[in-house]
Structure 1
Amino acid sequence: MNGARTDAGHVVVIGAGIAGLAAAHRLLARGARVTVLEASDRVGGKLLPGEIAGVRVDLGAESMLARRPEAVTLAHEAGLTDRLQPPATASASLWTRGALRPMPKGHVMGVPGTASALSGVLSDEGLHRIERDADLPRTEVGDDVAVGEYVAARLGREVVDRLVEPLLGGVYAGDAYRISMRSAVPQLFQAARTHTSLTEGVREIQAGAAAAQQSGPVFMGIRGGVGSLPLAVAESVRARGGEIVTGTPVTELRREPAAGWRIVAGDRVLHADAVIVAAPAPAAAGLLRAEAPAAAAELAAVEYASMALVTLAYRRTEAHLPEGSGFLVPPVDGRTIKASTFASQKWGWIADENPDLVVLRTSVGRYGETEILQRDDAGLVEVSRTDLRAATGLAATPVETRVTRWSDGLPQYPVGHHARVARIREHIGKLPGLAVCGAVYDGVGIPACIASAYAAVDQVHGDLGAVQELTANPVQSLHGGAGE
């Protein structure tokens, strides 16, 4: 940008999840006029505030990584500084081999740096298998490799089945033996490329993480729920002149004959200098099919996992839970739930809102598991209560329950996902004034989604700057360049 322009143009953002809202927020700061179009009747996407028994809770994602700055910084910018709150406890457990066992310290997405503190979680044979890692020759990872495949080759399948699977499942609801190490656990992928011993590489990552932890908590929540973040960002967008229209699916996205874009949404036809598509892969594929068919085909091939969250409230006098923030469940143990969060113990603000209530939630459903999610809400509550009783002894009847279903909620990152994303962006990059962002590209966490939104803003901002320069000085812009 040459500084002469005061109007950065009109940008339409398609999708009002946290990525789309973050993009709108950043675009307004850059001087653009912004319209956000959302197909559903609310903003926030997978961030959903709600309540149970009169207490505010999250019915979607409940925390955000604080070691990355994007989400916490956006919360500050949206006026939530005094509501940011770290977990009251980060002490989690594994429900495995018939008991709740402390989650081992010092691991990278379940991959341990040593065999210590794993007794009871792994068999003696599994512990010895970890110790053999240092004596094994290098295992090449190539351009990408499945997390489970690589870790099993180095440390044995037991580590994957009882440690890696429950942690990866909690983030991606996926299968460790399919998930890309390069895309899902890039730190581990880099360690695998540079170290002969995996455990040595993990210990090096741990040392860096320990140093970073000195500066603050790993995770952060928001009093009232992380679901309040998109609401606050949306309020800020509107306060700064941005338009957000819900209940308005986009049905057509076409390039204008001269420049810019034509967007059809309901009974509205909009004209924009640039468009950011912040919709899930299937919706994005449909929108891009006319102008970017190759990118659309790549997006249409992205698979998703469905899941459900079961939130339960109990009278405190009847619900006595173990200490800690909850537990994860390895699929190999054959249980139905994959995790449980003791929300009242993890988030102090929930306990403060009603000290006489205990709130917890379970998650059900992984990639490829469709039968369990076909049960009705009462059935999901029942299987959750059955597993909770077996894990914690909790036999009380809840005073209220809520089931929140996330159909096709989490994009899957199989081996080669990074290459697919690169191809999508290459195709999109050929169309000036068009960018994409969201969970499908660079990570499913809140900070990663926000970072992808900012990258999309940078892309279209640069495109608009090039158009402005071309309009202001067509001779120089057309004929100047590398030869100057």
Structure 2
Amino acid sequence: MRKRVAVIGGGIAGLAAAVRLRELLPAATDLIVYEQGGALGGKLRTGELGGLPIERGAESFLTAGPAGGDSAAVALAKRLDLGSSLVHPAAVPAALSIGGHLLPIPAGTLVGVPADLGKLGGVARPDDGRDHDAGRPLLAAGEDVAVGALVRERYGEQVLDRLVDPLLGGVYAGRADGLSLEVTIPQLAEAARVEHTLQGAVRAAQAKRNRTPGPIFTAVGGGMTRLVAAAAAASGARISLGLPVRDLSRTAHGWRLLLGATPFPQTDDVDAVVLAVPSRPASRLLAGVSAAAAEAVGVLDYASVALVGLALPPGTPLPELSGFLVPPSEGTLVKAATFVTRKWPHLGDDAGPVIVRASLGRAGEQERLQFDDQVLLERARRELGELIGDELPPPAASWVQRWGGGLPQYAPGHRARVAFARAQLPRGLALAGAAFDGVGIPACIASGERAAEDVSKSLEG
């Protein structure tokens, strides 16, 4: 009998799962992707600004994987015949905005954690003597801590605030005091279970990291929505938009999905399910399958952010940077800015608009985003001018993209909680996505592919 597999969630993790399922399963297998929103792609969304394709979500992904070679995102793009469309940023430095000055980000850090406290320049002063050898590893086997706790203990408050917090915040929109070392900087967590000092652990992690020559970051020319569309097409799946999955239950031979609005319910019976949705909807759908798993995944919190895109007049002067990050202690709503048309030279030339994208809001700051779009636009333009030291002209075009509850905040112990949840699930049901395996496009793609492989094994025989 022909098998049927449902993927719940049409973000890049769900789509990567669908592509991998198509590769692994017989050609006659029915694949269905259920996405309750009106479009595929999740946080991958390309918009238009000043006549250019500008990302309203993630703008790039890592080129290399943790063990070297192509990252999962580059590998998928190549399998989807997008290899010739991959582009890389210009070799332009980024900065930190501290006390009204744009200071170079010190070299030799690991997500902001320094390997050499003597090379911080004017960015921060470490507390001398804290990073001593106490005769034992920094972390016990299996131990996980908040990044902030470890850095503060070993380097002091200023290094944490001015260097580690802004770099972590640029990725997670969170504070280092609430983020798991094991999830956010796994290579450092591994080294810290062997090394006796934080400087030693950073150096060991950097030495072990397989550095693939070439650019660190990659994007898809024409926009990330090309990757989304190509994955959807390659999966050959039936795509169902705007039809939420409200319940998931076991049947004698597989799974039953309850779909649609309460007054007019629909059902779909399938042989296996990949669940690729955020933590709270995942917890709700798992409640009838495993209360323990539902509780374990439901504790994950999220940060809300907003992105502001500004198309400034051609020739608008900007610092010779790709952008900058802002420490939380500066008090601004803007936490990061990208000078898009300088960072990505394929987007335009000096005769075209100057595109700036700003990221607003951190974890716990939702109330600071509760203004209408025009207020946020003006606030962003004013703060950007103050941070670079020169007022920006009114934009010719602009937009605001809000991502309410968009970025997971991985508390210490997250990885163990997810492993526990997965161990409670029956065969034929797999979890995928940022809620479980980390942010970043390669992490989401790899998570979806692993889930597809687990599901395909459950269908064998």
TM-score, normalized by the shorter chain, greater than 0.5:
yes
Instruction: Tell me the residue number matched to 1:326.
Output: 323
Contact 2:20 2:449 in 1 (8 A): yes
Q: Secondary structure at the match of 2:380?
A: helix
Preserved CA contact (<8 Å) 1:311 1:360: yes
Q: Secondary structure at the match of 2:193?
A: helix
1:438 aligns with 2:433: yes
Matches within 5 A, 1:11-160: 11-31=5-25, 32-68=29-65, 69-123=71-125, 126=126, 129=128, 133-134=131-132, 138=136, 140-142=138-140, 143-160=143-160
Q: Is the 8 A contact 2:124 2:163 kept in 1?
A: no
Matches within 5 A, 1:361-380: 361-380=357-376
Deviates most, 147-156 or 289-298 = 289-298
Alpha-carbon shift at residue 381 of structure 1 (Å): 1.0
Question: CA offsets per residue over residues 282-306 of structure 1, 9 Å max, x none?
Answer: 1111212112222112222211111
Q: Is 1:244 matched with 2:246?
A: no
Residue 389 in 1 paired to residue 364 in 2? Answer: no
* Distance of aligned partners of 1:337 and 1:421 in 2 relative to their CA distance in 1, 3 Å threshold: same
Name the CA distance, whole Å, in 2 between partners of 1:452 and 1:390. Answer: 41
The aligned runs of 1:294-313 (5 Å cut-off) are: 294-313=292-311
Instruction: Kindly indicate whether residue 445 of structure 2 is the aligned counterpart of residue 450 of structure 1.
Output: yes
SS of structure 1 residue aligned to 2:13: helix
Give the deviation of 1:140 after TM superposition. Answer: 3.7
Note the C-alpha offset of 1:207: 3.5
Letter paired with 2:211: A
Contact kept? 1:62, 1:227, Cα under 8 Å: no
Over residues 445-470 of structure 1, what are the superposed CA-to-partner deviations in whole Å (9 max), with x where a residue is unaligned?
Answer: 111111111111121111111xx2xx
In structure 2, the residue matched to 1:480 is none
Kindly report the root-mean-square deviation, in angstroms, between the aligned alpha carbons of the 2 structures: 1.7
Tell me if the contact between 2:137 and 2:195 (Cα under 8 Å) persists in the aligned partners: no
* Aligned 8 A contact 1:8 1:464 in 2: no
Q: Give the 3 Å change call, closer, same or farther, for CA 342–136 of structure 1 in structure 2.
A: farther
The AA in structure 1 aligned to 2:30 is R
Query: Equivalents in 2 of 1:8, 1:25: separation in Å?
Result: 18
Secondary structure, aligned partner of 1:444: coil
- Show CA shifts across 1:261-283 (max 9, x none): 11122254221110111111111
Asked which structure has the greater CA Rg, the reply is: 1
Give the aligned residue type for 1:369. Answer: E
Q: Does 1:349 align with 2:346?
A: yes
Q: In structure 2, what is the Cα distance between the partners aligned to 1:221 and 1:117?
A: 31
Equivalent residue number for residue 68 of structure 2? none
The answer as to whether partners of 1:60 and 1:227 remain within 8 angstroms in 2 is: no
Contact 1:65 1:220 survives alignment (8 Å):
yes
Q: What letter is aligned with 1:35?
A: I
* Distance in 2 between residues matched to 1:138 and 1:363, nearest whole Å: 40
Measure how far apart 1:139 and its partner are. Answer: 6.2
Name 1:219's counterpart in structure 2: 217
- Distance in 2 between the 1:15 and 1:93 partners? 36
- Counterparts of 2:50 and 2:90, CA distance in 1: 21
Aligned to 1:44, what secondary structure does the other structure show? coil
Query: What secondary structure is seen at the aligned counterpart in 2 of 1:196?
Result: coil
* Higher alpha-carbon deviation: 324-333 or 135-144: 135-144
**Helix, strand or coil: the match of 2:324?**
strand
Offset of 1:135 from its aligned partner? 5.2
287 and 204 in structure 1: CA distance in 2 versus 1, 3 angstrom threshold: same
Query: Matched residues, percent identical?
Result: 44
- How far, CA to CA, are the matches of 1:220 and 1:39 in structure 2? 29
The answer to whether the 8 Å contact 1:10/1:33 transfers is: yes
Q: Distance in 1 between matches of 2:2 and 2:58?
A: 33
- Listed as ranges, the gaps of 5+ residues in structure 2 are 66-70
The Cα of 1:228 is off from its aligned counterpart by 2.5
Counterpart residue identity of residue 251, structure 1: R
Spell out, residue by residue over 1:422-465, the C-alpha distance to the aligned partner (whole angstroms, 9 max, x if none): 1111112xx12111100011111111111111111121111111
Give the secondary-structure state (helix, strand or coil) at the position aligned to 1:407: strand
The structural deviation recorded for 1:232 is: 1.7
* Contact residue 35 and residue 240 of structure 2 kept, 8 A: yes
Q: 1:28 to 1:365 in 2, by over 3 A?
A: same
Q: 1:337 aligns with which of 322, 334, 338?
A: 334
Distance 1:15 1:313 in 2: 33
After superposition, give the CA deviation of every residue in 1:184-239 in whole Å (9 maximum; x if it has no partner). Answer: 11111112111112112212333344x6142x2211111122233112211222xx
Instruction: Please give the TM-score of this superposition, normalised by the length of structure 1.
Output: 0.89
| Corresponding residue SS for 2:234 | helix
Counterpart code for 1:191: A
Contact 2:255 2:271 in 1 (8 A): yes
Q: State the distance in 1 between where 2:442 and 2:324 align.
A: 24
Give the 3-state SS of the residue equivalent to 2:91 in structure 1: coil
Number of aligned residue pairs = 446
Kept in 1: contact 2:87–2:219 (CA 8 A): yes
- AA aligned to 2:382 is T
Secondary structure, in 3 states, of the residue corresponding to 1:212?
A: coil
Alpha-carbon distance between aligned partners in 2 of 1:295 and 1:132, rounded to the nearest angstrom: 40
Q: Is the CA contact 2:181–2:189 (under 8 Å) kept in the aligned structure 1? A: yes
